[in-house]
Amino acid sequence: MPETRKAKDDIRTPLERMLKNYAHSAGTNLSCAVRDLLTELMHLCDDSHVDFDGRLCAAREVYRQECSTTTLIKEMNHETDSSS
């Protein structure tokens, strides 16, 4: 079942907050916090017998699709604005 934008926003907002809080409390930056999160996700996947590399590959594909859709929508909106 495909996730809706709302469902993704529901996870993105607290994840962003958690990463920023972690970076601040660890005295590091967001880039290092993302690295640490990915490292822990790798451990979690190993412990749960989930193929992290397979999930990362799938995530990249979903990301590309979302970026393509976002670009297309922006272009369509720009064309609509220009023709008005």
Tokens of 66: 């979302």
Neighbours of 16 (CB within 10 A): 11
Spatial separation of the C-alpha atoms in residues 26 and 32, rounded to whole Å: 10
**What pLDDT, on the 0 to 100 scale, is given for residue 8?**
73
Q: How long, in residues, is the chain?
A: 84
SS3 per-residue string spanning 51-66? CHHHHHHHHHHHHHHH
Residues 12-62: pLDDT tens digits?
Answer: 999 999 999 999 999 999 999 999 999 999 999 999 999 999 999 999 999
Spatial separation of the C-alpha atoms in residues 72 and 64, rounded to whole Å: 12
Residue type, 35: R
pTM of the model: 0.70
